[in-house]
Amino acid sequence: MSIFSGAFDALPWLQEKTLSALQSSVRLIDLANEPDTTDWYRRNLTTIAEHILEPLAPVVALLHGAGADAADREEWEPILTGGSFALATWCRKWKIADPVNMAKGSIKHLRTVEEDEAKAEEIMPESFSGDTQSALELKLEIYASMSQLLLGDLLSAQAQRMLLWMMRGLWFSSPPDVVGVSRKFLPTDIGVSNEEAAEAYKELFDKGLIERVAPESDEINSDRLQLRLVVQGVNDSRHTLAFVAEKFGFPGARIAGKSTSGQTLLIELPKTLSSIVGRWLKEPKELGDLRGFLQSRVGADAAYVERAEICHRSAGPRLELQFRYPLDAERQPIERQLKEFAEAWLKEKLLPA
């Protein structure tokens, strides 16, 4: 008997087929929920499934006589996160069908190594080389999306600063959506502490606004951190690199909240000290104890002593100090203090009482 025959009862057939279609669409959610599904695929699989469930779930509820309440979005919406298990719960609650086999799709099947590799395979994005028009269009789309985001209060102040800094460097970037930031100087560049820079980086990453880009072979040990500015649905990667915590800044980059300048001070020792040091140290040597002594004496709010080292020159041994001080401070008074404290320390250590 044909389904188009007037004597054919279409209701059981429609109940079976629409429920089967609903169950098949929910398998998209099960696939999205697998632990090795990337964020890009999870987001898109869920969106596709939602577009199917939204019109189909009410039809299934109607054909099975479940009533209007079963068709409410708040009733079937948990399926978008729970997959087949949630579908079985919905069916059981509204007596739509026997849910015994409904939840099977949520159990991750045992895949072969070949299937795992096929799922993990990444299709590399096409190069923008020579495609100036597409590159400019992508940059403009990023500018528009990020500017609209910055109008709201969804980001912390430090995350806003980092995002603006990256947008500043976007115009001349290549690829068109990738910007390099300096791990060492980012906090100073955007006017935040080292800790705040790390927090801003994680915040932007967690919100899906940036992605890490694998460095080229000659950039692996570079200070530059390559990041992609992301507009969801436009240039987000199908297989993103996992988050890796980064350490930004360096000791002494900021003193009392102010940017600093680095200086080297060469101190010519008095003849007596020079003679003793020449016999005491035949090779260049870093003096960690002296560095700590100088730091304690000048104070953390005045300068940061990076290194104290005895170096040998043709005219005799010299004391070399590397330090940083606030840009708006006077250098000469700090240098005089360091010279006086260093000589006092050497006399105490080397000259007999």
Range of the domain at 163: 133-229
Please report which helix (H) or strand (E) contains residue 289, including its range: helix 288-298
pLDDT for residue 196? 95
47 or 5, greater pLDDT: 47
- Residue 300 belongs to some domain of the structure: yes
Q: In whole angstroms, what is the distance from residue 64 CA to residue 11 CA? A: 9
> Last residue of some domain: 229, 262, 278?
229
How many distinct structural domains can be found in the chain? Answer: 3
- Residue 242 belongs to some domain of the structure: no
- Residue 249 belongs to some domain of the structure: no
Average pLDDT of the segment spanning 311-315 = 71
Average pLDDT of the segment spanning 273-279 = 73
Q: In whole angstroms, what is the distance from residue 149 CA to residue 158 CA? A: 14
- Residue 238 belongs to some domain of the structure: no
- For residues 225 and 282, state if they share a domain: no
**What's the CA angle centered on 284, arms 278 and 288, to 5 degrees?**
105
Average pLDDT of the segment spanning 307-311 = 88
Tell me 286's DSSP state: E
How far CA 30 is from CA of 93, 240, 252, 290, 339, in Å, comes to 20, 20, 51, 63, 70
- For residues 17 and 116, state if they share a domain: yes
> Last residue of some domain: 120, 144, 172?
120
| 72-121 per-position pLDDT tens digit | 999 999 999 999 889 989 998 998 877 666 665 555 444 555 666 565 66
CA-wise closest residue to 111 among 43, 35, 40: 35
- Residue 21 belongs to some domain of the structure: yes
In this structure, what are the phi and psi dihedrals at residue 250, rounded to the nearest 5 degrees?
A: -160, 155
How far CA 289 is from CA of 108, 136, 292, 296, in Å, comes to 60, 55, 5, 11
- For residues 285 and 343, state if they share a domain: yes
- For residues 171 and 86, state if they share a domain: no
- For residues 107 and 146, state if they share a domain: no
Question: Number of helices (H) and strands (E), helices first, in the chain?
Answer: 14, 8
> Last residue of some domain: 91, 120, 149?
120
Q: In whole angstroms, what is the distance from residue 308 CA to residue 349 CA? A: 15
- Residue 54 belongs to some domain of the structure: yes
Q: In whole angstroms, what is the distance from residue 256 CA to residue 25 CA? A: 59
Residues 6 or more apart whose Cβ sits within 8 Å of residue 93: 70, 75
| 198-219 per-position pLDDT tens digit | 999 999 999 999 999 988 766 6
The DSSP string of 98-163 is: -GGGGGGGGSPP---HHHHHHHH---PPPP-TT-HHHHHHHHHHHHHHHHHHHTSS-S-HHHHHHH
Where residue 320 sits, what CATH number does that domain have? 3.30.70
CB 306 within 8 A of CB 322: yes
Please report which helix (H) or strand (E) contains residue 344, including its range: helix 331-350
Q: Where are the alpha helices (DSSP H) in 33-82?
A: 39-63, 68-71, 73-76, 79-82
Q: In whole angstroms, what is the distance from residue 51 CA to residue 60 CA? A: 15
Where residue 224 sits, what CATH number does that domain have? 1.10.10.10
- For residues 178 and 150, state if they share a domain: yes
- Residue 239 belongs to some domain of the structure: no
Average pLDDT of the segment spanning 155-167 = 97
pLDDT for residue 352? 65
- For residues 42 and 115, state if they share a domain: yes
The DSSP string of 1-17 is: --TTSTTS-HHHHHHHH
Residue 32: which pLDDT band, with cuts at 50, 70 and 90? Answer: confident
- Residue 197 belongs to some domain of the structure: yes
Share of the chain above pLDDT 90, in %: 48
Structure tokens at 59: 């039809």
Provide the residue type at 320 as one letter. E
- For residues 193 and 156, state if they share a domain: yes
pLDDT for residue 35? 82
Matching residue, tokens 């309440």: 69
pLDDT for residue 284? 67
